[in-house]
Amino acid sequence: MKPLLEARQLYKTYRGRDHTPLRAVDGVNLALELGQVLALVGESGCGKSTLALTLAGLEKPSEGQVLYEGEDIALFSRDRLQVLRRRIQVVLQDPYESLNPTMSVGQLVAEPLQIHGLAGDRDALAAQVGRALERVGLTPAADFVPRRPHQLSGGQRQRVAIACALVLEPVLLVADEPVSMLDASIRAGILSLLADLRRERHIGVLFITHDLAAAACLADQVAVMYLGRIVEQGPTPQVLGAPRHPYTRALLAALPPATPRQRRPRALLAGETPGPGQIPPGCRFHPRCPLAAPACGQLDPPLVVVDAGHRAACPVAAPAA
């Protein structure tokens, strides 16, 4: 069975002010199955959002392919691209910015249906909007339809943004840091909603986050990104429970302990993350890596199998026998 969405040797390069190439996505291979939650994690600026927008067809790759159900979307006709945009929906990080403040909740949720020509008559459209709002927990829907975004809490705004995506009945939801701007109690509700949607509608979710705790709660698979490249990938319990790449270990060590009595060994990293225009030779992580050897500055390691379904791009993480 073909993956729902797949990246093959995907690159996205921009040009800096001095025409320096900025490699935001640098040779990524990634696949997401229908009904699966894949968490894409890493520090800010590592290329997560650029990769997500390229996979969603909102950015054109500089090289490589994005395959939807096994077909290259670069070869899609205009009509097929329109269908693709309906089937892949994006939920952005900031509900304060992503919702038009001049529109009511009802107008916001109805707009995608109108754009795609899926709105029925007035009564049918109202019913579609009501179902979408109730599905994301905004009940009774009639109370929310006339409100403006400024009359809602942050969590309610994000639920409206998710309703705007779900009203088109997508098969894939690209959720770009959907809980990073919300309080902890509200964040748990949004994560629970995404989990329910995956289970009930069997949709795929590409969950972009820098929050490893959120990834652990929601994701089936985790892909760790550093400077435009995937450096570790596999089932969530293996990647987050037994990480093999030093960068993944450092991210986990930075998490606060569950209780004040619990202590973790620190894995402090040297220096700062380079920009996408100054990617070091060899392993891109070696200038900050506590395990770096002289050879690491010469070899850019590929992802290799280190356990069943678990891959890491590090010579220290020896392949499974």
pLDDT at 258: 60
pLDDT above 90: percentage of residues in the chain: 67
pTM: 0.91
Helix, strand or coil for residue 27? strand
pLDDT at 93: 81
Identify any residues that bridge with 235 across adjacent strands, giving them in sequence order. Answer: 221
Q: Is the pLDDT of residue 321 over 70?
A: no
Domains of the chain: 5-312 (3.40.50.300)
Q: Which residues contact 287 (CB under 8 A, 6 or more apart)?
A: 270, 271, 274, 280
Instruction: Name the pairing type of β-strands 88-91 and 172-176.
Output: parallel
pLDDT digits (tens, 9 = 90+) for 198-226: 998 899 999 999 889 899 999 999 999 99
